[in-house]
Chains A and B, each alone.
Chain A
Amino acid sequence: MPLITIVCHGLEDDLRVDGRGCEDYRHMEIETDVVSNTDGSAKVTLGHTAVLVGIKADIGKPRPMVPNEGYLEFFVDCSANATPEFEGRGGEELGTELSNTLYKVFNNKHSVDLKGLCISAGEHCWVLYVDVLLLQCDGNLYDAISVAIKAALFNTKIPRVHISADEEGGKEIELSDDPYDCMRLNVENVPCIVTLCKVGHRHVVDATLQEKACSVASLIISVTHKGTVTCTRKVGGGSLDPESIFEMTKAGKRVGKALHAPLMKLLQQEESLGKTRQKVGFLG
């Protein structure tokens, strides 16, 4: 029997090849503060998918249209370690696609408190460089990346700066010399991405590579903790009828909402351990 038949038939009975339900995620592991020379970092593994997100904060000039906001920059590196397909420039296209989506999802004032990143209107603001490194690809990159970004943003510590003005009106940025004196970001409204894969007549969450191969199209939905959908995108070659889009969005909202609460709890728990926490890192 061809694979597609097995997958589709199984799904008819709400059964997936690995035994999960249609709206279940695979096993997920999150660790923050894994790269010491970033300002915030997180590593997320989802099944065999592994992504590492590092955030560097630097001082830049605000965009002219929004002089009182900071902004985020995304870069996705599809390392050839993740899959042989990325060798050479193979990962470039995917990387651009991923980062374009990430801009849409995260770089707006509803997701991240961009006003809080402003240091002095029109002159200085914090720019958060979000570097995503794909370590291993085993399907559902979007979801894994979004969780990792949220965790990394949560973990980000931006050094506190003071603006001192001299008589001439020129402004001087002064850094606090206490490394503990830093600003944290409010990540409450940061959305998570839920990818729903249309396989046969059903749709699944967190598709494996096999399931993805069987699907015609998938829908990317970013959802906040309140269940608000902030962005949807369709990817893949096939078409989706309005009915199933509606259904998939509903499912996405449900799954996304359920994803946020345990994630936040986990992050706060980890944070509260402070320095006593045993780091796992990359060898664990």
Chain B
Amino acid sequence: MLKSKIFVKKTRAGGVMKIVREHYLRDDIWCGSEVCAECKQESAELQRDACIESNLCTYPHYVIPDTNVVLHQIDVLEDPVIRNVIILQTVLQEVRHRSAPVYKRLKDIIHEKEKHFYTFTNEHHRETFIEREPGESANDRNDRAIRVAAKWYCQHLKTSESDADGLKVVLLTNDQGNKQKAEESGLLVYRCEEYIKSLIGNPELVDRLALSNDDKNEITSSKLLFPEHLPLSKIQAGIKSGSFLQGTFRASRDNYLEATVFIQGDGEESTEILLQGLQNLNRAVYQDVVAVQLLPRDQWVAPSSVVLQDEGAAKDDNEEEEDEEEKALRISAAEAARKPTGKVVGIIKRNWRPFCGMLNASHIKESTRHLFTPADRRIPRIRIETRQASTLAGQRIMVAIDGWPKHSRYPNGHFVRSLGSAGEKDTEQEVLLLEHDVPHQAFSQAVLSFLPEMPWAITPEEMARREDLRSLTVCSVDPPGCTDIDDALHCRELDNGNVEVGVHIADVTHFLRPGNALDKEAANRGTTVYLCGKRIDMVPELLSSNLCSLRSNVERLAFSCIWEMNHKAEILKTRFTKSVINSKASLTYAEAQMRIDDTTMKDDTTNSLRALNKLAKILKRYRIEKGALTLSSLEVRFHMDSETHDPIDLQTKELMETNSMVEEFMLLANISVAQKIYDEFPDCAMLRKHPAPPLSNYDILLKAAKSKDVEIHTDSAKALADSLDMARVEGFPYFNTLLRILATRCMMQAVYFCSGMDTDFHHYGLASPIYTHFTSPIRRYADIIVHRLLAVAIGADKTYPDLMDKQKQSALSNNLNYRHKMSQYAQRASVAFHTQLFFKSRGILNEEGFVLFVRKNAIIVLIPKFGLEGTVFFDTKDKAAPHLVFDEDGPTLKVEQHTFSIFDRVKVTISLDASNIQHQKIRMSLIEPVIAGVSVPAPEVEPLAKKPKLDR
């Protein structure tokens, strides 16, 4: 039977379009119940004995939730206890329309066999399809469709073989009107809360209930704390007229009363608007898309440098305290420091996800309302209702926000799941992966199905297509323990007196064909994430550690970049080819260094290493002459216990000549490839740029250098590099390194981009006009794209449409940039966690460090020995604050009599502050200089003998 669906739509050009869709109704849609004998279904999802212990529905029943129940209570539906649920197509469509993440979760549940969820396509069923009636809103129509379908089930199950011990359907809806109408038509209908609370066998489910609107009034004071949000229509009108601005809300990590809204402008004109104070933040949560209104210029403020954390008991009424904190922010700032300041007038799109964190159990016993503190400081604390507070205390849990009413100090949320005990390594790792949005699930079957079959060998056809470089003395140099070797090198003398240098990169694209599930997964992951003691692969292990990895003494496919150079390291010829290599040795940096230094070694590998090293030194000199920056950041390595995987020692990474040797050739390969693919595909080459930082970024560096009477020039990369080289202070050898660390902080992020979408290609840090990533396809997806482009350019592979589509390329680079950033954050978080573990085992330590930054109420100290940075606060809540004078120009901070400025040498005691188990911090307290009432006496350091033995 044919029906048509008609609706009108506004077109983008402002016109109106009438759209007619054909809609076919069928009579072969089955009910999905085991009981039913009428329907000719092959397998029935819904069970015969659909029993759940409930004191409302004592009979077996199927549950039909309406759209809002699914949207808000998806966490409950996900619980394994809830089974035998009928999801109507109407509901599914509405959910899909309203929330993509919930839709995905719902689909996942439906696919899960044990859940016995059945999708009933009521919209195409002859007896349950209804047409919208005049005067009926779309929502009312859908509600009616749900009721009609529920009614149909009622009757259908009744007629079919009534040995079905009174099987019934129960409609769940929270809508009063809908409920009433359903009752009138004789349906069994309950509110979702009612039903869940009736499940006496599973009281823990109640915790997972999202709070609905009518619950809120009981838990909040009647006082309005926040201004009302404007409706979306007004916001849109305001944005159009320019009175409001749309942007992404970014809460400050250090100060819960401050945030910025990032306004994406056309091209370069992105701006940031400062928000200050709870009222102006107006319930926006990190990452929400909000509309902001600028305050008049005389109310603009400067970002405060105070570190403020929302701590202590729930504060609903004691606003005075809050006001004071807010007042503390508004210290009159110099006119110049003031930034555009605004307030949030409405929320355009919430970007709430489940947050990891921990419960602050309420002080009142038996209370079911507790505050939840998310691990991410930018997320406000969330109020949840749970009766399992005692079990959940000390556990990392996930909580979802349900809403933030305007008279509640905190958003309301509900418990989703527990991740395990806090402080345990697995739990913490899970938390940091979740918090940084790192896809870390095991690869799905679909993805694995695209892996080559084992045992794998190079086919003769493949061999014929490639250049055979197996005879060359190729070797790889990597950090110790590296199993995903993606680069190898060779160097040999040519007969004409020149040298041939080859960089061989794992040919991952041979295995990763465009568009299949494996490729899509890799593109989504974007990068391999290295955590301490764990690696989250971008491609499955078979590829990353075996087939692609250029291990020694096996034949491997490679993509080679081969130069002919003279002895002055000038490139005479460059060529690219797909090849087969057989690496002669997989060395570590240290091993390679030893071979080079050991004059008795005269084998081929060592000789080529020496030649490479010589050339690399020349290349590096060229590069530095051109103005490449040598920056510094301290990287930390842990010595792990081989059994417990606990860190037993930590040291900063040491750089050897060989590190720089490999790096030089990788840079050279990347530049050569970048030029080649850009020449060939000027519109769709994937490149990497590093924008020059705006001059204001250097302020802190300049001020810091000036305090030591050192001039730093920042007009060009070359000037900066030279002045950094010149910067020395008598008797302070570490000064230069510190300065470089500061300079690193001034830099911009390097990003991938599509050459067709941008005009500025310059790589500031490397002083190269063009750059890309080619050398690590096993762990970076950008390299995969570059490989494909290069393969097409040299005619070694076919192209495909998405590769040449600059919009898609651009979207892909955005994802890669995001993943890259997140993986770095995750990496840092992992290091921080392991540092804590380390200090936990080491107890208290006294170390010497340097002041890296000066803040209004604290100094940030760097301990070079551990590469560790920590904050020494001068105003602790429980103590009377010492007299603090902050001078922004220095910047200096005067504490009582002593003045701190950048680079000051201090002595601190380091201990682990586990008072807040969620944010275990490294606590640093000042020992030297001694300031009465501020510094602490140096504690006894436990003798080292107690420590577990270090690995030798």
A residues in contact (CB < 8 Å) with B: 36-39, 56-59, 159, 161, 164, 166-168, 170, 172-173, 175, 177-180
Measured CA separation A164–B231 after assembly (Å): 14
User: B4 touching A36 by the CB < 8 A rule?
Assistant: yes
**Quick check: A166 and B16 within 8 Å, CB to CB?**
no
Alpha-carbon gap, A57 to B11, bound state (A):
13
Q: Which of A39, A159, A170, A178 has the most CB of B within 10 A?
A: A178
Chain A residues, CB < 8 A from B136: 178
Asked if residues B237 and A167 are in contact (CB atoms below 8 Å), the reply is yes
The answer to whether B134 touches A175, judged by C-beta atoms less than 8 angstroms apart, is: no
Q: Which residues of A contact B241 (CB under 8 A)?
A: 166-168, 170
Cβ–Cβ < 8 Å partners of A170 in chain B: 237, 240-241
| B243 CB-CB contact with A under 8 Å | yes
Interface contact A166-B238, CB-CB below 8 Å: yes
CA gap between A180 and B4 in the complex, in Å = 14
In the assembled complex, which residues on chain B have CB atoms less than 8 Å from the CB atom of A166? 237-238, 240-241
B312 close to chain A: CB less than 8 A: no
Complex A-B: 20 CB contacts under 8 Å: A37-B19, A38-B18, A58-B15, A59-B15, A59-B16, A159-B16, A159-B18, A167-B241, A168-B242, A170-B237, A170-B240, A172-B240, A173-B14, A175-B10, A177-B137, A178-B132, A178-B136, A179-B6, A179-B7, A180-B133
- Nearest B residue to A182, CB-CB: B8
When the two chains form their complex, are residues A39 and B18 in contact, meaning their CB atoms are under 8 A apart?
A: yes
The answer to whether B137 and A178 touch across the interface, beta carbons within 8 angstroms, is yes
Report which of A37, A175, A177 forms a contact with B16, defined as CB distance below 8 A. A175
| 8 A Cβ contacts from B1-28 to A | 4, 6-10, 14-16, 18-20
Shortest Cβ distance from residue A73 to the other chain B in the assembled complex, whole angstroms: 14
Cα distance, A57 to B17, chains bound together (Å)? 9
The docked-state distance in angstroms from the alpha carbon of A55 to that of B18 is 12
Counting chain B residues whose Cβ lies within 8 A of the other chain, the interface size class is 20 to 34
**B9 contact set on A, CB distance < 8 A:** 175
Total A-B pairs in contact (CB under 8 Å)? 60
- Does B138 sit within 8 A of A, measured CB to CB? yes
Q: Is the CB of B8 within 8 A of A179?
A: yes
| Interface residue B135 (Cβ < 8 Å from any Cβ of A) | yes
Q: How far is the CA of A164 from the CA of B16 in the complex (A)?
A: 16
Residues of B within 8 A of A36 (CB): 4, 6, 20
B391: interface (CB < 8 Å): no
Name the one of A159, A164, A167, A168 contacting B8, with C-beta atoms under 8 angstroms. A159
Nearest chain B CB to A70 CB, angstrom units: 13
9 further A-B contacts with Cβ under 8 Å, apart from A166-B238, A178-B134, are: A59-B14, A166-B237, A168-B241, A168-B242, A170-B237, A170-B241, A177-B138, A178-B136, A180-B133
Q: How far is the CB of B407 from chain A (nearest CB, A)?
A: 28
Query: Is B876 close to A, CB under 8 A?
Result: no
On chain B, the residues within 8 Å of A57 by CB distance are: 16
**Interface pair A180/B16, CB less than 8 Å apart:** no
- Nearest 6 Cβ contacts at the A-B interface: A166-B237, A180-B134, A168-B241, A37-B20, A159-B8, A36-B20
Q: How far is the CA of A168 from the CA of B239 in the complex (A)?
A: 11
The smallest beta-carbon distance between B650 and chain A, in angstroms, is 60
CB proximity of A121 to chain B, nearest CB, Å:
17
Instruction: Digitize B311-353: 1 where CB-to-A-CB distance is under 8 Å, 0 elsewhere.
Output: 0000000000000000000000000000000000000000000
Which residue of chain B has the shortest Cβ distance to A180 in the bound complex? B134
Least CB separation from A126: chain B residue: B16
Interface: B915 (CB within 8 A): no
Q: Which residue of chain A has the shortest Cβ distance to B139 in the bound complex?
A: A177
Whether, in the assembled complex, B233 has its beta carbon less than 8 Å from a beta carbon of chain A, the answer is: yes
> Distance in Å from the Cβ of B417 to the closest Cβ of chain A?
38
Q: Is the CB of B135 within 8 A of A175?
A: no
Q: Please state if B135 and A178 are interface contacts (CB–CB under 8 Å).
A: yes
Once the chains are docked, how many angstroms separate the CA of A170 from the CA of B241?
8
B411: shortest Cβ distance to chain A, in Å? Answer: 31
Smallest CB separation, A130 vs chain B (Å): 15
- Measured between alpha carbons, how far is A212 from B561 in the docked complex, in Å? 85
CB-CB under 8 A from B16, the residues of chain A are 57-59, 159, 161, 175
Chain B residue at minimal CB-CB distance from A167: B241
Q: How far is the CB of B241 from chain A (nearest CB, A)?
A: 4
Whole-angstrom distance between the Cβ of A68 and the nearest chain B Cβ: 19
Contact yes or no, B135 A180, CB < 8 A: yes
Instruction: Write the B414-430 contact mask toward A (1 if CB under 8 angstroms, else 0).
Output: 00000000000000000
Which chain A residues border B138 with CB–CB below 8 Å? 177-178
**Chain A: minimal CB distance from B635 (Å):** 54
A275 (CB) vs chain B CBs: closest residue = B131
Question: B205-247 interface mask toward A, CB cutoff 8 Å, 1 = contact, 0 = none?
Answer: 0000000000000000000000000000100011011110000
Contacts of A161 in B (CB 8 A): 16
In the complex, chain B residues whose CB is within 8 Å of the CB of A59: 14-16
Instruction: Report the Cα distance A168→B233, complex, angstroms.
Output: 14
User: With A and B bound together, what is the CA distance between A58 and B10 in angstroms?
Assistant: 10
A159 CA to B7 CA, complexed, in Å: 10
Interchain CA distance A167-B6 in the complex, whole Å: 34
List of B residues within 8 angstroms of A173 by Cβ: 10, 14
Asked if residues A175 and B20 are in contact (CB atoms below 8 Å), the reply is no
CA distance A170 to B14 in the complex (A): 14
Q: Are A167 and B243 in contact (CB under 8 A)?
A: yes
Query: Which residues of B have CB within 8 Å of A58?
Result: 15-16
List chain A residues, Cβ under 8 A from B19.
Answer: 37
Closest to B137 in A: A178
Shortest beta-carbon distance, B47 to chain A, in Å? 40
Bound complex: CA A23 to CA B241 (Å): 63
Name the distance in Å between B318's Cβ and chain A's nearest Cβ.
39
Identity of the chain A residue whose Cβ is nearest the Cβ of B8 in the assembled complex: A159
A164 to B236, CA, bound (A): 12
Q: Which residues of the other chain, A, contact B4 by a CB distance below 8 angstroms?
A: 36
Find out whether the CB atom of B233 lies under 8 angstroms from the CB atom of A164. Answer: yes
Among residues of B, the one whose C-beta sits closest to the C-beta of A158 is B16
Which B residues lie within 8 Å of A178 (CB)? 132, 134-138
The interface centre, meaning the residue of A37, A38, A161, A164 with most chain B CB atoms within 10 A of its CB, is: A37
Q: Which of B16, B137, B240 has the most CB of A within 10 A?
A: B16
Which chain A positions have C-beta within 8 A of B132? Answer: 178-180
Asked whether A164 and B20 contact (CB < 8 A) given A59-B15, A178-B137, the answer is: no
Q: How far is the CA of A139 from the CA of B138 in the complex (A)?
A: 48
Which A residues are CB-close (under 8 A) to B137? Answer: 177-178
Alpha-carbon gap, A168 to B18, bound state (A): 30
| B240 proximity list for chain A (CB < 8 A) | 166, 168, 170, 172
Q: Which residues of A contact B20 (CB under 8 A)?
A: 36-37
Q: Which residues of B contact A37 (CB under 8 A)?
A: 18-20
Question: In the complex, A179→B9 CA distance in Å?
Answer: 10
Q: How far is the CA of A159 from the CA of B10 in the complex (A)?
A: 11
Enumerate chain B residues within 8 angstroms of A172, measured Cβ to Cβ: 237, 240
Whole-angstrom distance from the CB of B685 to the nearest CB of chain A?
A: 42
Bound form: Cα–Cα A178–B133 in Å = 9
In the bound complex, how far is the Cα of B238 from the Cα of A167, in angstroms?
8
Taking the closest CB of chain B, its distance from the CB of A162, in whole angstroms, is 11
Residues of A within 8 A of B242 (CB): 168
Complex Cα distance A161/B135, Å? 16
Interface residues of B in 78-109 (CB under 8 A from A): none
Q: In the complex, what residue of chain B is closest to A169 when comparing beta carbons?
A: B241
- Alpha-carbon distance A173/B136, docked complex (angstroms): 22
Question: How many angstroms from the CA of A234 to the CA of B562 in the assembled complex?
Answer: 87
State A89–B138 Cα separation when bound (angstroms). 47
- A166–B235 Cα distance when bound, in Å, is 10
Using an 8 Å CB-CB cutoff, how does the interface string of B246-278 with A read, 1 for contact, 0 for none? Answer: 000000000000000000000000000000000
Q: Report A122 CB to chain B, min CB distance, Å.
A: 15
A199 to B809, CA, bound (A): 74
Q: Which of B8, B133, B135, B241 has most A Cβ within 10 Å? A: B8
Closest to B6 in A: A179
- Residue from the set B18, B135, B136, B138 with the largest chain A CB neighbour count within 10 Å: B18
Q: Which residues of B contact A180 (CB under 8 A)?
A: 132-135
A165 to chain B, nearest CB (A): 9
CA distance A57 to B10 in the complex (A): 12
Complex alpha-carbon distance, A159 and B233, angstroms: 20
Cα–Cα distance between A114 and B233 once the two chains are bound (Å): 31
